[in-house]
Amino acid sequence: MKDILAPLKGLLKIEDLRKRLIFTAVMIAVIRFITHIPAPGINLAALKGLFDSSAFLSLLDVFSGGTLGNFSIMALGLNPYINASIIIQMLAMAIPKLEELQKEGDFGRQKINQYTRLLTVPLCFVQAIGLIILLNRQGLTTTQDPLRLASIVFTLSAGTGLMIWLGEQINDYGLGNGISLLIFVGIISRLPVTAMQLFTTFDQSKIIQFLAFAIASIGVIYAIIRTGEAVREVPIQSARRGLTSYSSVVSNHLPLRLNQAGVIPIIFAVSFMMIPGLLVQVLSGAKQPQLAQIANQINQALTPDSLPYNLLYFVLVVAFTYFYTAVVFNPEKIAKDLRQSGSFIPGIRPGPNTIEYLNFVLNRITIVGATFLGLVAIMPAIVSGITGFTSLAVGGTGILIVVSVVLEILKTVNSQLYMHHYEKFLD
């Protein structure tokens, strides 16, 4: 219990952490205020009815940070930025210069972030135009003037740019990852509404199902925490020469996290799962009956509680876990660093053999982490099918993001605490 409360006490005692906490709280308050500023030219009452009747749009609203339901000036949310990140990461596997930038440390990371922001701008306009066309076909726009519709597109694009900038300010001066924190806040802000929907529709005859759902939720949270903290320790030995001519062998270990990618594969997978829903919304308004029939078939096959939807969701999460792990963990660089420092893995020769061994270990632990993420992603559909609580169909993804962000913030606070105590010890 003391270890859990230590970061919370440190937030209030240490001045730097206290300033970061206040700054983060102010940024979140600013963002939540802006999310309630509606964009012009939209029939909000009709839009709310459309969102209440569509599970796909409700899911889209969750990952926009709750900004799409009331169609605020940040209605696009972080979706263009997430899609730009996916495109840049994929291009890095095909373009050698981008791949080299990923290996250049902080400078390369800054350049990659710059390219991602630049790519986000055209994606904002494309997605904003597509959203306006969709709403116009549904009769949800209050104007047909092209200039006014264009002003909505520019407003939505500017809102996403502002949201990304505020998230980066949290990265620099606040606590945790700003982008993940904004999604976290969007999910948390919906919990009271979701809880009210659950209790207003609660049936006392389903008390057993309710308890099963509560136990499953607690079990998922526990499993997420354990999996997030799990590491595979690869033994390492280093030959050190002392003051005499004798040398000693120092044993250490290389920690490989079971889940190297964190919550990123879930966010990427959700972005891809939105494509069929958007396609359905576009084709359903087509005048050709064949296109409308295709939209109806896609809609029936890929409903959030259907087997094809959850199977595709699971496969995407596993694929993106492997993809992102390959991006963030480079066995060749690790093997090179070990060789330069005079370290080695017992029983494994330095060089290609070390690279092969690290890849072997990483693939084995990644399949476990990827499978776990995939099961967490589709588990709400399974639980809701058993208990009948369909109002929490996206709860697993939300829980995963919430727990991951909380753990990330606690790690940031702990690292700041260790640094503060170390500096105090030196003084």
Place of tokens 């099961």: 375
Q: What is the DSSP string of 5-41?
A: HHHHHHHHHSHHHHHHHHHHHHHHHHHHHHTTSBPTT
Backbone angles phi, psi at 86, to 5 degrees: -60, -45
Structural domains in the chain, CATH included, are: 1-174 (1.10.3370.10), 206-427 (1.10.3370.10)
Q: What is the DSSP string of 297-344?
A: HHHHHT-TTSHHHHHHHHHHHHHHHHHHHHHH--HHHHHHHHHHTTEE
Residue type present at position 300: Q
Q: What is the pLDDT along the chain (427 residues), one digit of tens a residue?
A: 455 555 666 667 777 778 888 898 898 888 888 888 888 878 777 777 666 655 556 656 665 656 676 778 888 888 888 888 878 877 877 788 887 787 776 778 788 888 899 999 999 998 888 888 777 777 777 777 888 888 888 998 998 899 899 988 988 888 877 887 887 887 777 777 666 666 666 666 667 777 777 777 788 788 888 887 788 888 888 765 554 544 555 667 788 888 877 777 877 787 777 777 666 666 666 666 776 677 677 766 777 677 888 888 889 989 988 888 887 787 888 888 888 877 888 888 888 888 888 888 888 898 988 898 888 878 767 766 666 655 554 456 677 777 877 877 777 777 777 776 666 655 5
Measured distance CA(278)–CA(353) in Å, rounded: 47
pTM over 0.75: no
Q: Do strands 343-344 and 231-241 pair parallel, antiparallel, or not at all (unpaired)?
A: antiparallel
Q: What is the DSSP string of 352-419?
A: HHHHHHHHHHHHHHHHHHHHHHHHHHHHHHHHHHHH--GGGTTHHHHHHHHHHHHHHHHHHHHHHHHH
Kindly report the length of the chain. Answer: 427
Question: Do residues 278 and 284 make contact, with C-beta atoms less than 8 angstroms apart?
Answer: no
User: Hey, what's the torsion of the CAs at 13, 165, 263, 12, to 10 degrees?
Assistant: 10
Helices (H), 176-236: 178-200, 207-229
